[in-house]
Structure 1
Amino acid sequence: MNQTALSSFIWSVADLLRGDYKQSEYGKVILPFTVLRRLDCVLASTKADVLKEQAAREKAGVDPHQFLLRKAGQGFYNTCPMDLKALLGDQDHIRQNLYAYLQGFSPTARDIFERFEFHTHVERLAKANLLYLVTEKFANIDLHPTRVDNARMGHVFEELIRKFAEISNETAGEHFTPREVIRLMVNLIFIEDDDVLTPGNAVVRTVYDPTAGTGGMLSVAAEHLLAHNPAARLTLHGQELNDESYAICKADMLIRGQDVANIVAGNTLSDDGFPAKKFDYMLSNPPFGVEWKKVEKAVRAEHEGKGFDGRFGPGLPRVSDGSMLFLLHLVAKMAPVVNGEGGSRFGIVLNGSPLFTGGAGSGESEIRRYLLENDLVEAIIGLPTDMFYNTGIATYVWVVSNKKPAARKGQVQLIDASSFWQKMRKSLGSKRKEMGDAHIAEVTRLFGDFAEADLATVLDADGKEVARHVLRAGEAEPAVPAGGKLKRAPLSRRFRNEAFGYTTLTIERPLRDDAGTVIKFEKGKQKGQPQPDSALRDTENVPLGEDIRAYFEREVLPHAPDAWIDEAKSRVGYEIPFNRHFYVFEPPRSLHEIDEELKAVSTNIMKMLEALAE
């Protein structure tokens, strides 16, 4: 059964719920039952052995927990003699027997259903005489990993969540990231580490997602690494605020054999689930443009009380958007580099705001300043619009590392992958575009090679695109058909860190009386100096590395000979004007060309009218 068919089959349960449940409540039944059936199928082959082992250990007066885990071959087990199919044999006692079955799970698995508040809905289904019918539906679905692997199961959960979110008018897809975006991010954080990707190299690495959602990023990271190096051992860590997403993530980690103690519930910003831990690799897609007012007290207390010993030392962004707090959180979780060993790399998806919001001295600018002056930003990749389920805005992947290769030291790579997409056959929420495997591979190569390149688009005589080519430095341009042309635009560029910095100068001019005489201070330290006129005050941004006095004499004094710089107000700022570096000016068509086209159109219209009059 393919993913779509499986999702449709599970979705058919909604037909049973209609009338007794609102559409917005379907997920509260279908999601936990899907997880329950998945766990039920996983344990089926070892059920008899587990029950036999339990009886033997209890008879010997020994705590059976560790023995049962070993027999189950999983990080969980169930000691109830029944399974979902067996429950169907006693319709009159389905409620009591289902409770007994749930109670038979080991504590880590029971917590999953408590997060779903599953007992509440079991009672509600029983009162509506629906519990047996719903249980029967799910008991007849085979969700064993040999039939539905972990990757497909993850897709199923994500599709169901998206559907429920759309129905209930919630933000569709806020709990997960499109798989192709995750694959790109995973490629980017692993590509420079040969020791991890080399087959047979038994490395041990940690991966962390502070906004884990249903665990998609962690799962794809694990699958990617093990596909390249089956000997590698990954331990996955995550934290998630939403209880339902946390429950699904925890169930997935249980089946993968991961230690579910490493999946923590709670708000990452106010209650760090791993306060003393550092990680080798990290991935995150924090919510875009969501205010952090609820955790403001805790975040400000850490910023002011701990400074750079805490997570938010460099600065705090405005309360209306907390995405840069997650960026700082990940920086604080980077493993240190010791004698050239260790270090971390992470990828985070952000909207355009963190690139440029906030002037010199603002929290956002200070955060960018900290990252760039400490040479932590490896690359920023602009993604196509309409890539995410809940928004069509432009998004960017930041690749941040404290173990840059020598060639990257002191530099940042910008890659404009906004044209690397293909149209989806069917839109999913706001998602209308997807990156194909070839697109992901090309961006990965550009990053891995630290290459500068242009995108050359070949157009035919009618202006229709016929081919695209990625041209590295020194490569020959492709041939152009007769009457056609070649459009060339930057695709990948490298910049020194300081290229994004500037000094904001406050330019003052003297206050004058009605006669035009300069008014001066009469007291204090500034006695005898001209008073500034706040109405004439202005600012100038001077690129870092440029002589400020020379700039002032060249750009300001010729226009305002009486101006001066208020040195006390000078501030260093950083911004990354991503789009400006990839903008290509296209001159407008000549007036003659437009006029000739209008004449041709007018002539055609007149001919059509004449034909109608005949």
Structure 2
Amino acid sequence: MDYNPKNLNQQTTTNISRLSNMFWNIADLIRDIYKRHEYGNVILPLTVIKRFNDVLAPTKQKVLDTYENVKNFEVYDGFLKTASGYDFYNISQFDFNNLLDDADHIEQNFKDYLNGFSDNVQDILENFKFDNEITTLAEHGALYEIIKEFNKPEAYLGADKVTTADMGYVFEDLVRQFSESTNEEAGAHFTSRDIVYLMCDLLVAEDAETLRENGVVKTVYDQTMGTSQMLTCCEERLKALDKNAQVKLFGQEINPFTFSIAKADSLIRGADANNMRLGDTLSDDKFKDFKFDYCLSNPPFGVNYKIEQQAVKKESKQANGRFTVGLPRVSDGQMLFDLNGLSKLKDDGRMVIVHNGSSLFTGSAGSGESEIRRYIIENDWLEAIVQLPESVFYNTGITTYLWVMSKNKPEWRQGKVQLIDASGMKVSRRKNIGNKRYDLTEEVRNIITKMYGDFKNAEYDENGLHCESKIFDNEYFGYQRITVESPQKDEDGNIITDRKGNPKADSKKRDYENVPLSEDIHEYFNREVKPYNPDAWIDEKKSVIGYEIPFTRVFYKFVEPESTEDIAKEIKAAEKDIMESLNKLFGEVN
């Protein structure tokens, strides 16, 4: 067998689209049994099971022989894992080949086959809830035919022909098609590889030299892992820098279906599948007290956390809770994942996380969002924010941003934040996938990563691509929200005072001003307010510090409007075209 475990993560020439389309097209066999949006409930689990079957095939007989020798032992799990060569095994006499020898008992035999898997695979099958589908398929006479299709030579998924990287792509493509057929957001399950590769490049850019040392050990965590492909991409990047690197992956996922794919992928890669955990990251943290070298994730944005709100509030009141800094509005919990990710980083750990634009500015001074931004910036953890082009994600066309954070900035970055406008770094796709109209090609990723690494005010404008970098002091993003009071006045216009002779504030005239942290509030007040409201004063007890990141403003470029003469010429030309068209249709008209 032409198989080398060291090559499991390398991309082969296998036609990924051919494989995924072939498996999806098998759904034609069940179109009279299932609705289109239900196809994935059958196709995805069977693809995973077939992968297990083909991976275990070379050692199947060795496992059966070993089982006969150890089945009476009190503990025999380790012997069977050794025999299979993986952290899982199957002790059933059946496999996809001999299941087809007995069409009359296909349901019973197939269930016997599935029951022969080790407990860690049973957990995967249970989360797929596949047992009911087997019965449904058998009752309609389709189980035999669908297994027959999955067992064709062209559907072979053995590790000697289909690498784990290949299989990751196949899973992604199937999940995408499944999501589209249910009108569900594919992007809720995985992020396209070009974005993930950019995230990984930014994540390891400052550590590149260290990572080239032989035998480095790194841990990577994804708090919203989907099918775990973001984790495996990061492993791929780290091993490209050091082929002997030991990379340990950890992830948590709320969706049982995609969690099962992630765990299956982990088992086949030979990783510790126990590091893939099912549960809600916000309300049921499966990695308490864990610390990681790297964290990367694409959490849901614009999604409420009403279900988790009670647990999140409770933890926010605990001394060592993840959310003590502040809580964003319940309608959008994306910034809670910043706090969770940061709580999981080692003292020199790094994180890259995807956000939409609201995380830059939503929430006034003192709000949960502003307090989270303040926490990140005042601790000097924010290295950079990269604005991506629109329409690069499968499930949304909106503009998104990569936040790069580090618990231990290099000296030259300390006290500074780099903003990179890469909205012009896009290459059109030949065919759209959902909302994804543009790709971040290797050239694009290299330019963005270099601009990040150079860490200076710079601009790139070549070959139809445009990118700009600007450096700011941390203080630039902070401001004091001051409360400006005006006095109450009587009918004659005289100021009303209290017993101590101080003017009484008129709440109806109360106003607020945001004063940059770099400026004295009294100097600002005397310049911007006092000339227009000489009786006003600052209620300093109500002053609050806030933070926002005015990304659009700092990259705004003024465009000179057209002159009135040019506009008039365009109008006359348009009128002439309209009249010529009307004359052709109706003859000469006035």
TM over 0.5: yes
SS in 2 for 1:77: coil
Partner amino acid for 2:189? H
Q: 1:189 & 1:515 partners in 2: Cα distance?
A: 66
Is 2:574 the partner of 1:563? no
Pick aligned residue for 2:472 from 484, 495, 501? 495
Alignment match, 2:491 = 514
2:351 aligned with 1:346: yes
1:129 to 133, 141, 165: 141
The 8 Å contact of residues 479 and 515 in structure 2, kept in 1 or not, is answered as yes
| Aligned twin of 2:127 | 115
Give per-residue Cα distances to partners, 1:461-480, cap 9 Å, x unaligned.
Answer: xxxxxx4476xxxxxxxxxx
Q: Note if 1:420 corresponds to 2:425.
A: yes
Alignment-derived partner of residue 172 in structure 2: 158
Q: What is the one-letter code of the residue matched to 2:86?
A: Q
In 2: Cα distance, 1:6 partner to 1:603 partner: 57
1:586 is aligned, of 559, 562, 567, to 559
State whether structure 2 residue 292 is matched by structure 1 residue 319.
no
Report the counterpart of residue 433 of structure 1 in structure 2: 438
Distance 1:506 1:387, change over 3 A: same
Distance (Å, rounded) in 1 between the aligned partners of 2:581 and 2:138: 72
Query: C-alpha distance in 2, partners of 1:98/1:222?
Result: 35
* Partner of residue 545, structure 1: 518
1:251-266 matches, cutoff 5 A: 251-266=264-279
Q: Is the 8 A contact 2:325 2:371 kept in 1?
A: yes
2:48 maps to 35
**CA deviation digits over 1:110-146, x for unaligned, max 9?**
1111100111111111111111111111122101233
Following the alignment from structure 1 to structure 2, what is the Cα–Cα distance between the partners of residues 80 and 592?
Answer: 84
Offset of residue 8 of structure 1: 1.5
| Alpha-carbon distance in 2 for matches of 1:113, 1:196 | 41
1:257 to 1:530, Cα distance in 2 relative to 1, 3 A? same
Which letter does structure 1 place at the counterpart of 2:96? L
Distance (whole Å) between structure 1 residues aligned to residue 49 and residue 42 of structure 2: 11
CA distance in 2, matches of 1:120, 1:432: 38
Q: Report which stretch shifted further, 212-221 or 586-595.
A: 586-595
RMSD over aligned Cα atoms: 1.8
Q: Structure 1: which 5+ residue stretches go unaligned?
A: 337-342, 458-466, 471-489
Per the alignment, residue 359 of structure 1 pairs with: 364
8 Å CA contact retained: 2:425, 2:465: no
Corresponding residue for residue 378 of structure 2:
373
Q: Distance in 2 between matches of 1:521 and 1:274?
A: 57
Task: Indicate whether 1:395 and 2:400 are aligned.
Answer: yes
**Which residue pairs with 2:231 in the alignment?**
218
CA distance in 2, matches of 1:29, 1:608: 58
* AA at the equivalent of 1:491: E
Alpha-carbon distance in structure 2 between the residues aligned to 1:428 and 1:594: 39
The SS at the match of 1:63 is: coil
Tell me if structure 2 keeps the 8 A contact 1:387–1:434. yes
SS of the equivalent of 1:208 reads strand
Equivalent residue runs for 1:173-212 within 5 Å: 173-198=187-212, 201-212=214-225
With over 3 angstroms needed to count, the CA separation of the structure-2 counterparts of 1:591 and 1:3, relative to structure 1, is same
Is the aligned partner of 1:168 residue 2:182?
yes
- The 1:604/1:99 distance shift into structure 2, 3 A limit, reads closer
The CA deviation string for residues 261-282 of structure 1, in whole angstroms up to 9 with x for no partner, is 1111000111110101100001
Which letter maps to 1:156?
V
1:197, distance to aligned residue in structure 2 (A):
3.0
> Take 2:573 and 2:398, find their aligned partners in 1: how far apart are those partners?
39
Task: Name the residue aligned to 1:460.
Answer: none
Aligned-pair CA distance for 1:421 = 1.0
The whole-number CA distance in structure 2 between the counterparts of 1:491 and 1:170 is 35
C-alpha distance 452-136 of structure 1, shift in aligned 2 (>3 A): same
In the alignment, the residues of structure 2 paired with residue 129 and residue 327 of structure 1 have an alpha-carbon distance, to the nearest angstrom, of 50
Give 1:11's aligned residue: 24
Offset of residue 521 of structure 1: 2.0
> Partner residue of 1:81?
93
Q: TM-score, normalised by structure 2?
A: 0.94
| Match of residue 505 from structure 2 | 532
Q: Is the deviation greater in 65-74 or in 502-511? A: 65-74
* Residue aligning to 1:236: 249
Moved more, 202-211 or 445-454: 445-454
Partner of 2:299: 286
In 2, the alpha carbon distance for the partners of 1:129 and 1:600 equals 70
Helix, strand or coil at the partner of 1:238: strand
SS in 1 for 2:219: strand
Q: Answer whether contact 1:174 1:389 (CA < 8 A) is retained.
A: no
One-letter amino acid of the counterpart of residue 321, structure 1: D
Tell me how far 1:82 sits from its aligned partner: 1.8
8 A contact 1:446–1:452 mirrored in 2: no
In structure 2, C-alpha distance between the alignment counterparts of 1:254 and 1:126, rounded to whole Å: 29
- CA deviations on 1:229-268 (whole Å, 9 max, x unpaired) are 1110001000000000000000011111110111110001
Aligned pair in 2 of structure 1 residues 209, 611: CA closer, same or farther (>3 Å)?
closer
Aligned to 1:334: 345
Q: Deviation of residue 594 (structure 1)?
A: 2.3
Offset from partner CA, 1:138-187 (integer Å, 9 cap, x none): 12210123322222222222222222222222223311111111000000
Unaligned runs of 5+ in 2: 1-13
Matched, 1:69 2:42: no
Shift of 1:297: 0.9
Mapped to 1, the partners of 2:70 and 2:209 lie a distance apart of 44
Match in the other structure for 2:158: 144
Is contact 1:188–1:444 with CA below 8 Å preserved after alignment?
yes
Which residue number in structure 2 is paired with residue 340 of structure 1? Answer: none
Decide whether aligned partners of structure 1 residues 5 and 329 sit closer, same or farther in structure 2, where only a CA change above 3 A counts: same
Task: Using the TM superposition, give the Cα deviation of residue 382 of structure 1 relative to its aligned residue in structure 2, in angstroms.
Answer: 0.5
Task: Verify the 8 A CA contact 1:316 1:325 in the aligned structure 2.
Answer: yes
Between 1:179-188 and 1:118-127, the stretch displaced more is 118-127
Residues 97/609 of structure 1: CA separation in 2 closer, same or farther (3 Å cut): closer
- Give the letter for the 1:79 counterpart: I
Letter in 1 for 2:402: V
d(CA) in 2 for partners of 1:528, 1:143: 86
Conservation of the 8 A alpha-carbon contact between 1:382 and 1:395: yes
Number of equivalences:
572
CA contact (8 A) 1:161 1:173 kept: no
Q: 2:455 maps to which residue?
A: 450
Contact 2:124 2:260 in 1 (8 A): yes
Cα distance in structure 2, aligned partners of 1:598 and 1:242: 57
- Structure 1 letter corresponding to 2:529: V
Aligned to 1:596: 569
2:522 match: secondary structure: helix
Percent identical pairs in the alignment equals 49
How far apart, in 2, do the equivalents of 1:611 and 1:440 lie?
Answer: 53
Cα offset for 1:432? 1.6
- In structure 2, do the counterparts of structure 1 residues 195 and 453 end up closer, same or farther at CA, with 3 Å as the change threshold? closer
DSSP-derived class of the 2:186 partner? coil
2:289 to 272, 276, 293: 276
Is 2:482 aligned against 1:505?
Answer: yes
Report deviation, 1:18.
0.8
Question: 1:99 and 2:111 equivalent?
Answer: yes
Whether the 8 Å CA contact 1:207–1:282 is kept in 2: the answer is yes
